[in-house]
A = this chain, B = another copy of it.
Amino acid sequence: MKKLLVLLLLATFAQAQTKDEQQIRSLYDAALTEGKAYDWLNHLSNQIGGRLSGSVQAEQAVKYTKQELEKLGLDRVWLQPVMVPKWVRGTPEYAFIETKPGLTNNVPVCALGGSVATPLGGIKAGVVEVKGIEELEQLGRKNIEGKIVFFNRPMEATQINTFKAYGGCVDQRYSGAMEAAKFGAAAVIVRSMNLRLDDLPHTGSMSYGDLPVSERIPAAAISTNGAEFLSTTLKLQPDIKFYLKQNCKQLEDVQSYNVIGEVRGTEEPEKIMVVGGHLDSWDLGDGSHDDGAGCVQSMEVLRLFKETGYKPKKTLRVVLFMNEENGLRGGTEYAAQAAKKKEKHVFALESDAGGFSPRGFNFDAPQGFMKTVESWKPLLEPYLLHQFVSGGGGADIGPLRGEGVILAGLMPDSQRYFDHHHAENDTFEHVNKRELELGAAAMASLIYLYDNYGDESTAMDNGK
């Protein structure tokens, strides 16, 4: 009798395994043979283009993705209003190095997002090169006042995960201007966050903190080749002048939206799972990797469930967040509304690391959940998902962090991401169709597993 019971249990287990294997296989088959993600991305990138918050393109993207979600036959599709900052780049930036009066070399620059303009005639000043913010204190006001501070700490090539290399120098871009202004700098030039040597400046967000408007100084990124050239020139001739002209501007906040679609759960509709990316992008490229890819992959998750006939037990929402790049207003507003309505979010998965070959997921989750994830490995490794990392999550879903909600992020191969990040070559032709589709299928598979087995780990954690 006992033997029979064991056999029955084993048979049930084997059946469950087989059912899961089959469901995951069918998600991958559907993504790879009749996926919609690539077509959607083609439209977002090539028909709409860069989608900076507050721009006409961002508005078009809201309309387009809402309309496409409506075609999927979800239970509900809606727009969640959110006020977003509107910053405009203005006419193309212009910069040169002047070694002697009249003897100049142009270098590629772009204004950092949120920067103030230079005076109409531009700024021309001497340059002081630093490797980081901490050097400003040592140099002191006497060496900085009236000068352009050139932040030139490169991304560390020896980091295998390029996001770590990014994390190791992005403070120069984000806080460089604010800190240099305190020492009387005239402007800052920041080496682009790019591991390649090339001619493309990479923009990105920056902050003046509490600095009064009158004390804000212009901030621009310079291409990595430009940074190398400037640094070499400074070694040979420390008294060169640098000229910068940009006429970007911060306008009033404008109305925008998160785009949300929902399939109501069949068994536990009160428990909400979120899958999302951010709809806004920077303005230089068309935002294909950052984060058009994450948006269309998230939409594809819901389409794949429909396509394969899988009805989630818990409620599943796709959320296309607005304004991740320069404000995080969409993510913040979504979490605020969720709290206000006392919605019970249990799981949130974000894709915001590019549309490259997926290699796994990171999780902001309790240990018990990580053990459950461990048990899913045999189902996911055949799809070449090997990294299941504790720590991380994502920017837009970050504000949801709190009691019981598990945050996760898709981890694609990171080697090429910063070649394109925030630069004019973040464009559609650099996204590979299969890599994009594999990411969507990986995300759908993880949500399927959470929907069916995620609660077990919560039970485990409570039982600890």
Asked if residues A415 and B438 are in contact (CB atoms below 8 Å), the reply is yes
Size bracket of the A interface = 20 to 34
* Sample of 22 A–B contacts (CB below 8 Å): A28-B160, A32-B158, A33-B157, A160-B382, A160-B383, A160-B438, A162-B434, A195-B434, A196-B433, A357-B357, A357-B413, A357-B415, A384-B387, A386-B387, A413-B413, A415-B432, A415-B434, A415-B435, A415-B438, A416-B432, A416-B434, A416-B435
In the complex the two chains form, what is the Cα distance from A158 to B158 in whole Å? 35
Partner of A434, one of B29, B157, B384, B438: B157
In the complex the two chains form, what is the Cα distance from A29 to B160 in whole Å? 10
For residues 134 through 180 of chain A, which have their beta carbon under 8 Å from a beta carbon of chain B?
A: 157-158, 160-162
Partner of A158, one of B28, B160, B415, B433: B28
For residues 389 through 446 of chain A, which have their beta carbon under 8 Å from a beta carbon of chain B?
A: 413, 415-416, 419, 432-435, 438
Q: Which residues from B are CB-within-8-Å of A29?
A: 158
In the complex the two chains form, what is the Cα distance from A213 to B416 in whole Å? 49
In the complex the two chains form, what is the Cα distance from A286 to B382 in whole Å? 33
Most buried by B among A29, A160, A162, A438: A160
Q: Which residues from B are CB-within-8-Å of A432?
A: 415-416, 419
Partner of A160, one of B160, B384, B386: B384
For residues 226 through 254 of chain A, which have their beta carbon under 8 Å from a beta carbon of chain B?
A: none
In the complex the two chains form, what is the Cα distance from A387 to B387 in whole Å? 12
In the complex the two chains form, what is the Cα distance from A382 to B384 in whole Å? 16
Name the residue on B nearest A432 (C-beta).
B416
Asked if A289 is at the interface of the complex by the 8 Å CB criterion, the answer is no
Asked if A359 is at the interface of the complex by the 8 Å CB criterion, the answer is yes
CB distance from A430 to the nearest CB of B (A): 11
Q: Which residues from B are CB-within-8-Å of A382?
A: 160
Q: Which residues from B are CB-within-8-Å of A438?
A: 160, 415
In the complex the two chains form, what is the Cα distance from A406 to B195 in whole Å? 36
Name the residue on B nearest A159 (C-beta).
B32
Asked if residues A157 and B386 are in contact (CB atoms below 8 Å), the reply is no
In the complex the two chains form, what is the Cα distance from A415 to B412 in whole Å? 13
Number of copies: 2
* Contact string against B for A residues 255-298, beta-carbon threshold 8 Å, 1 for contact and 0 otherwise: 00000000000000000000000000000000000000000000
Q: Which residues from B are CB-within-8-Å of A433?
A: 196
Q: Which residues from B are CB-within-8-Å of A387?
A: 384, 386
Q: Which residues from B are CB-within-8-Å of A359?
A: 384
Q: Which residues from B are CB-within-8-Å of A416?
A: 432, 434-435
Q: Which residues from B are CB-within-8-Å of A28?
A: 158, 160
In the complex the two chains form, what is the Cα distance from A386 to B383 in whole Å? 12
Name the residue on B nearest A386 (C-beta).
B386
13 additional contacts, CB 8 Å, given A384-B387, A416-B434? A32-B157, A33-B158, A157-B434, A160-B384, A160-B438, A161-B384, A196-B433, A357-B357, A357-B415, A386-B386, A413-B413, A415-B432, A416-B435
Q: Which residues from B are CB-within-8-Å of A384?
A: 160-161, 359, 387
In the complex the two chains form, what is the Cα distance from A266 to B28 in whole Å? 50
Name the residue on B nearest A28 (C-beta).
B158
Q: Which residues from B are CB-within-8-Å of A383?
A: 160
- The 8 A-B pairs of least Cβ separation, nearest first, read A386-B386, A32-B157, A415-B434, A357-B413, A29-B158, A415-B435, A32-B158, A33-B157
Q: Which residues from B are CB-within-8-Å of A357?
A: 357, 413, 415
Name the residue on B nearest A441 (C-beta).
B160
In the complex the two chains form, what is the Cα distance from A453 to B434 in whole Å? 38
For residues 7 through 63 of chain A, which have their beta carbon under 8 Å from a beta carbon of chain B?
A: 28-29, 32-33
Name the residue on B nearest A30 (C-beta).
B158
In the complex the two chains form, what is the Cα distance from A359 to B438 in whole Å? 16
Q: Which residues from B are CB-within-8-Å of A435?
A: 415-416
Q: Which residues from B are CB-within-8-Å of A33?
A: 157-158
In the complex the two chains form, what is the Cα distance from A359 to B383 in whole Å? 13
In the complex the two chains form, what is the Cα distance from A233 to B200 in whole Å? 45
Name the residue on B nearest A359 (C-beta).
B384
CB distance from A168 to the nearest CB of B (A): 14
